[in-house]
Amino acid sequence: MKKRDYDKEFCALLDQFAYRYSKWQIWNDFLNLSAISLANVLPGPESENREKQYLSIIESYEEKDQEVFPKLLELVVRALEENPEQDFLGSLYHHLELQQEQKGQFFTPYYISEFMSNIQFVAQDADAELKKKGYISVNDPACGAGAMLVAFANMAKKHGINYQKHVLFVAQDIDRTAAMMCYIQLSLLGCPAIVIIGDSLSKPLYHQDNEIWYTPFFYLNQWRFMPRQEEKELSDHVEADCTEDIKDAKNTADNQLQDLGLLEGADGQLMLRVGQAS
């Protein structure tokens, strides 16, 4: 059976109404709508504001055009389900020649990201870190579409580590478009991740001016990343030092997991099954 060309299908679907809107506008709106749909799978402090933003964007399109956006997201879901070892959105970005709109921005090819993540995995002594802390942390301060982190997730899986439970991904990029691409891919692959929009040099991590997005799997697994009694190095944003806090967070996550639509990939990994936000 011939494999579907999701890249080609995505471009063809986008072209259906590209003559009425700029390709760049459609792409950015697609990213924002998809990211909000994913973020609002579970309630959070920004849910209401993001829902308003969603409605503001979607209502700027004709009704027949509104129906295209969930179809585009479905293609991304299916592409990553069929082959999680790729930077699907990063490749699409170049295929659509959108880098011309972004001062020639260029994303690292996935095969190079694979090579670099393998080096990092070995140098980091991931097994020792996992044994010590119960999880591995990986940070990309210039994440782009997330290729390096996606490659690290797949590298962890090849080494028998369930990245959906035992890897904490931290991504940052000064470019919002890139960060949204990264957020969508990490969310769909089930990565517990914190994606930060801001300058990693002048405003690293939890700077007050930064925009921060947490993937659904971060909320489901954040209790795993709470520092143990002997460990205080994750972040001031995660309450530490309390067994009861960890138990409460775990119970909440278990309840949320029961209500969350999940899709099991061919390799047994869980992926989010996402519909259009209301």
The whole-model pTM stands at 0.82
Domain region containing 195: 1-278
Q: For residue 189, what pLDDT is reported?
A: 96
Tally Cβ neighbours within 10 Å of residue 15. Answer: 12
C-alpha dist (Å) from residue 254 to 47, 151, 162, 178? 20, 28, 17, 31
**Among 74, 44, 40, CA closest to 55:** 40
Cα–Cα distance for residue pair 137/103, rounded to 1 Å: 31
Q: For every one of its 278 residues, what pLDDT tens digit does the chain have, with 9 covering 90 and above?
A: 678 899 999 999 998 887 888 899 999 999 999 999 999 988 888 899 999 999 999 999 999 899 999 999 999 999 999 999 999 999 999 988 887 665 556 788 898 999 988 887 776 787 888 888 889 999 999 999 999 999 999 999 998 999 999 999 999 999 999 999 999 999 999 999 999 998 777 666 666 667 899 999 998 887 777 655 434 444 444 444 334 544 555 555 555 555 555 555 555 566 665 544 33
**What phi, psi does 139 have (nearest 5°)?**
-130, 130
Counting the structural domains of the chain, the total is 1
